[in-house]
Amino acid sequence: MRLQLIVCVAGLAAILFLQGCLPSGKIKTPDLPDDRLIFSQAQQALDARDYPDAAELLKIFLREFPESKQYSWGLQRMGEAMQGLLQTQYLRPIENGQEEKTAREAFLATYGTYACWLTDNARLTYDGSHYRKLLKDDPDSNIADEAAYRLALLRSDPQAQPEKIEQEVQDLGRVLERYPATSFRYEILYMMAYRYHELYEFYAHSNRSSTANRAEAQHSREKAVYLYSLALKSPRHSLFAEKAWQNLQDLEDGRRIFP
């Protein structure tokens, strides 16, 4: 509906202008559909979790307004829209009982033209291409930190082996190094602590002698405690500060939080 509305408004405005019905010169003219209007409509769709509408609007925005001051924001929001599409139009049907093959075919038939899906694994995933383009073309923009964080999270795997978890923590650490003033700072610190907490329990409580490692367990525990403590310094009483506090208490009291 938004897309149709914008097209109709743009067409009407053009007709009125050509017929001389719109004022010119110094007389104030009504706002015409432009990059800001389309981006605003796309943002509203994202806020409403209307990811199909948001994706279509952002596709138009990125195609038609590459010189817009909001272009980097458009790339960031397009990445969010792609992740939202994947969650609501593919993963949710599977969670509701639909066969993966059926869900995959339906999803790709409708959204395959966005050409940003990784199809080789058991589940479709988003390739992060919009975030990568933003970081390549405009790494100092005021939205680049969020793109870098979201890209790091895309590489995260809850079932990863220890060496992969270490790599994930390093990726998150590089986001903080590159963007130390990011508003996601305390969230990232919590995520790093959480992954070290997981490593600690893996090394400390493994039933296999080949993976049990007291030295690595101690190292990971120290890292987790330190990073949880940093996360607690958030100036706002955030959800992640609460989680950090609870997990730190569990860690210090010897309670396991991972199966």
User: 88: which DSSP letter?
Assistant: I
How would residue 259 be classed by pLDDT, with cut points 50, 70 and 90? Answer: confident
| Domain map (residue ranges) of the chain | 158-259
Q: Residue 186: exposed, middle, or buried by beta-carbon count in 10 A (0-12, 13-18, 19+)?
A: buried
Tell me the average pLDDT across 92-99: 97
Least confident of 1-15, 130-144, 176-190, 232-246: 1-15
Report the percentage of the chain scoring pLDDT > 70.
Answer: 86
Predicted local distance difference test score (pLDDT) of residue 210: 67
Least confident of 30-34, 42-46, 123-127, 211-215: 30-34
124, 117 contact by CB (below 8 A): yes
Number of CB atoms found within 10 A of residue 163's CB: 7
Model confidence pLDDT, tens digit, residues 147-175 = 999 999 998 887 778 888 999 999 999 99
